[in-house]
């Protein structure tokens, strides 16, 4: 069964430092997508970055990069130059097929990141 | 502003009440989703609608009743809920639910408390 594991319930980082949030996944599918979302205290899930399983290059979006290691089934999020506004919950998710040829997102339990000044 | 609006943002209801959650997307998407986010649990997919047709019901109790009158609007009708149904209910939309890389855009959620 498809599963996403985020082993870090909480992380602390100093402002302007880099931080890595861990994500491992389990799937038997050959084609899948990996996503990271940010959820501030307001509740909204904000898309950060996407990596396709066949993409050879690691995805980058501004200060966000995804360290994709397919053989290890890991998709860690790296945030460079942390800012106070980065304090939030971060969720790793994977697209997974369900009935009728559609895909759904399976989410991990999340990591709460606190950025200290 | 993500283009997905949920109302109300907060809702407190008794177990015998009937209420509805509303979601509206302004992105021209064809698929809409309801998720439940309980404390200390991963997001759980509840329902998926594609072109107004329900394509997924993830074993959700019948006290939750979705309605999708058109591709832009999605409702979740609630009746005789239990305290364990207290959670953040998130709505999302996407262009289509087929592609591996399909991006879902989320609303800010409705925080529901059942007394």
- DSSP for A52-83, written as a single string: ETT--SPPEETTEEEEEETTTTEEEEEE-S--
A-B contacts at Cβ under 8 angstroms:
72
Interchain pair A102, B107: CB under 8 A: no
Task: Return the higher-pLDDT residue of B56 and B28.
Answer: B28
pLDDT in tens, A99-114: 666 778 899 999 999 9
- Averaged pLDDT for residues B82-93: 95
CB of B91 closer than 8 Å to CB of B34: yes
B39 pLDDT above the threshold of 90 = no
Interchain pair B43, A91: CB under 8 A: yes
B41 reaches A (C-beta below 8 A): yes
Structure confidence at residue B2 (pLDDT):
66
B112 pLDDT above the threshold of 80 = yes
How much of chain A, in percent, has pLDDT values that exceed 70? Answer: 97
- Averaged pLDDT for residues A70-97: 95
> Helix, strand, coil % (nearest 5) of chain A?
5, 55, 40
| C-alpha distance from B48 to closest chain A C-alpha (Å) | 9
Closest C-alpha to A94, from A38, A37, A7, A25: A25
B104 reaches A (C-beta below 8 A): yes
> What does the mean pLDDT of chain A come to?
93
pLDDT band at B5 (very low <50, low <70, confident <90, very high): very high
pLDDT band at A83 (very low <50, low <70, confident <90, very high): very high
Structure confidence at residue B103 (pLDDT):
87
Structure confidence at residue B28 (pLDDT):
92
In sequence order, the β-bridge partners of residue B54 are B49
Lowest model confidence (mean pLDDT) among A33-42, A47-56, B45-54: B45-54
Structure confidence at residue B97 (pLDDT):
75
pLDDT band at B53 (very low <50, low <70, confident <90, very high): confident
A96 reaches B (C-beta below 8 A): no
d(CA B49, CA B102): 15
Structure confidence at residue B1 (pLDDT):
55
A62 pLDDT above the threshold of 80 = yes
- Averaged pLDDT for residues B78-93: 94
Nearest to B88 among A32, A43, A95 (CB): A43
CB of A4 closer than 8 Å to CB of A92: yes
């Amino acid at each position: 069964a498809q599963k996403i594991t985020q082993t870090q319930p909480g992380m602390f980082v100093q402002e302007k430092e880099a931080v890595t949030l861990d994500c491992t996944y389990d799937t038997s599918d050959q084609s899948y997508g990996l996503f990271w979302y940010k959820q501030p205290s307001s509740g909204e899930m904000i898309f950060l970055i996407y990596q396709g399983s066949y993409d050879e290059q690691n995805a980058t979006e501004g200060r966000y990069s995804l360290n994709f290691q397919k053989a290890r089934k890991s998709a860690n999020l790296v945030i460079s130059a942390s800012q106070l506004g980065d304090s939030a919950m971060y969720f790793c998710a994977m697209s997974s097929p369900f009935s009728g040829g559609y895909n759904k997102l399976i989410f991990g339990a999340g990591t709460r990141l606190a950025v200290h000044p | 502003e993500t283009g997905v609006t949920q109302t109300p943002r907060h809702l407190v209801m008794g177990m015998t009440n009937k209420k509805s959650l509303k979601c509206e997307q302004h992105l021209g998407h064809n698929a809409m989703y309801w998720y439940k986010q309980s404390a200390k649990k991963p997001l759980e997919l509840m329902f998926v609608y594609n072109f107004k047709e329900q394509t997924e019901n993830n074993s959700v109790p019948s006290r939750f009743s979705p309605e999708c009158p058109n591709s832009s609007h999605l409702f979740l009708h609630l009746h005789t809920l239990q305290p364990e149904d207290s959670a953040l209910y998130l709505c999302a939309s996407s262009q289509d639910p087929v592609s591996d890389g399909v991006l879902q855009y989320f609303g800010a959620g409705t925080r529901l408390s059942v007394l």
